[in-house]
Amino acid sequence: MINYELLLPAMGEGIIEATITKWLVSKGQHVAVDQPLVEIATDKVDSEIPSPVEGTVTRLVYREGEIPRVGEVIALIETNGVYEGSGQGVLISDFRKPVEQPDIFTIKNLSDRIFQSSDRKPVSPLVRMLAKQRGLSADDLGLIKGTGKNEQITIEDINHYIMDGRKVSNGNNGLKKKMQLPSEVQLVRSEISINPDDEVVEMDRMRKLIASHMIASKNIAAHVTSFLEADITPLVHWRETHKDEFYKKENARLTFTPVFIETVAMSLQEFPRINVSVSGESIIFRKNINVGVATALANGNLIVPVIKFANHENLGGLSRKLTDLATRARNGSLLPEEVKGGTFTITNIGQYNNLTGTPIINQPESAILAFGTIIKKPWAVKTASGYGVAVRDIIMLSLTYDHRVIDGALGGSFLSSVAKRLENFDTSRMI
């Protein structure tokens, strides 16, 4: 018999580790090829790792909640040596000691393998990112009492430490200074009372990540939102006329969202200073235009799949990719790399009949654009004899941007560009 070392697979650029969220098998269990073995999670996506071989599980190297790195052994499967799967792993003979580690790593051992504080507290990738952005050192993290599982430091712990300790980063040099607040400002965190009829339900993992990500974004970026209305009557008529033909040709519904993505991509090419990220006191100009699309899930959570190189896609390509990503987002089969690498995000809140909203920037991007519902309303229309009033299809756009790097003139100009492109949509274009 031969042991097969199951490795944590590569999951996309920039992803170096993942959390073991749930083992679907146990030691001694016989498994078949392609049988799901374990559920893992990165910052955004939950995935399953299937078995590349048939055999018997002889060791689960990591416990649930622990964080292996890409390429590390997470399980051993005893097999007859026949290997036809496509997973990442290594066949080893039964007489060689498979790994030098104990069967189950302790939390102290685990902290040796990931970013850690001075007293060896484990820190997740998301917390590590926030700590670096806020200029916290390993010594700072050593002062923080972790409230997560096994005393792991959470983003809430980071935020509370920054607020209570009044620590703010000073550029990239890691120096901190005391932030003086007016004496009348009081920071109070009171206990929330619970009534007998109240139901208390713990957030699921994705909701915790969303909450942490939103808090982190508000702490990092200086949020400003601008609003603008656009008359998209010609676009509405064009879509209504061509939607059946489009479906027959592309096997995808012609919704407004692909048009919005196409329009945003063109305006980002016109205004490259919107397609940026901030790193300390440096601005990163993104050469690729990767548009994330906020997608609501059936359980009420939110995920943002990314259409890479959106400016290189035609309307049909955008529709097909959007349909595929949205479908797999809702059935939980997105790959980790499909929610990474976004440079700008859009959210279509109009599908819920909302006029507008003030979305939160999806870090590390610098802007996010919300499209409200399309409503018919009286509108001033220029005619040959002057201005008149007609009923038109109007949409409200709201752009939230990071005022650290995007001023009102730039943000307003970009928003105006998107609106004008929608208003001047080429209704003669062919499907």
Do 363 and 404 meet the contact criterion of CB atoms below 8 Å apart? Answer: no
Do 389 and 362 meet the contact criterion of CB atoms below 8 Å apart? Answer: no
Residues 6+ apart with CB under 8 A from 221: 278, 361, 363, 366, 402, 403, 404
Residues belonging to the chain: 431
Give the residue numbers marked as catalytic.
Answer: 403, 407
Q: Helix, strand or coil for residue 67?
A: coil
Element (H, E) at 303: strand 302-303
The candidate with the shortest Cα–Cα distance to 150, out of 298, 20, 61, 342, is 20
Place of tokens 């009348």: 184
The candidate with the shortest Cα–Cα distance to 85, out of 129, 34, 130, 37, is 34
Phi, psi for residue 319 in degrees, rounded to 5: -65, -45
CA distances from 386 to 35, 187, 268 (A): 70, 57, 34
Query: Would you state the structure tokens that stand for residue 137, as one six-digit string?
Result: 């050192």
Question: Distance between alpha carbon 70 and the CA centroid of its chain, in Å?
Answer: 20
How far is residue 172's CA from residue 315's CA, in Å, rounded to a whole number?
42
Residues 6+ apart with CB under 8 A from 193: none
Beta strands 306-307 and 291-293: pairing type?
antiparallel
Phi, psi for residue 123 in degrees, rounded to 5: -130, 130
CA distances from 286 to 26, 222, 258, 290, 415 (A): 45, 20, 21, 9, 19
> Inter-axis angle of helices 233-250 and 256-270, to 10 degrees?
110
Do 124 and 111 meet the contact criterion of CB atoms below 8 Å apart? Answer: no
How far is residue 133's CA from residue 392's CA, in Å, rounded to a whole number?
46
The candidate with the shortest Cα–Cα distance to 321, out of 343, 344, 292, is 292
